[in-house]
Structure 1
């Protein structure tokens, strides 16, 4: 009789532990989702700022069509990207194109002195800093989640519950381009 109670006690402890592990993994997964949503909000603000910046530059640098077209193409690709991997790659391309666009101001003193351009460039610089902070928060959340599903004894239940590794917001080959926040000089 006492052996039966011991077995039942062990099973109850295992079930309670499975519930605790599941709830912890759910919380970590939700944190990753929330962190990616934060990045998405910042990126949307960036995408919304770009048309205004382009219109301002067009008036001063109309013959720089290639640079303007590159920014438009990169913005469209970034807006349609899905998931951390695709978004990171598309945003890397967009950051490079924006850097070239901002560099145009050096060649056009009137553009550089334009108050609207200055304001938009400052907003862009501020957004780039916010995106970098959001990206760090997201990668921290992914690291905690990935660690959580790999640590024993939760690792025994993670696969059963359908928890799989999540990807970091990795900049890959475009890392050096993105790490250089566009410099705004007036």
Structure 2
């Protein structure tokens, strides 16, 4: 009822369709779907179910009533490698850091393209950039000394990015 008049966003909605073993455990996901469907009939609130495409298809098929209650679906294309490089720069800047000037956009694109798989990029999408930033920041932290300048403390080097992508990609 708290969402009345608004929007109810359910991320990774497909996880609701994954139930227990059917014999000994209670399937709260299916119960939740049934409860949501009773509210979905009147269109208030607006429901947004989000998740990976294949898993979401299984979610919609998990209950015949869902298909007829979901009027519109959108598929968002995965980010390209150059877009991920741009997002990585944004994450770094948003975090109060910068990437050393010598690191070009082309080098970032090559680093991502050469050290991550298409499958990894598709599964993680923009989240890959957040993880890379955290790992690069950790690499930066490990390289600092007590005498490091503020500029050194906030500048992520190419070497930090290389180590970060190796760590995140498991290379």
Give TM-score scaled by structure 1 length: 0.24
Larger helix proportion, structure 1 or 2? 1
Higher radius of gyration, 1 or 2? 1
Tell me which protein shows more strand as a share of its residues: 2
Q: Which has the higher contact order (CA 8 A, sep 6+)?
A: 1
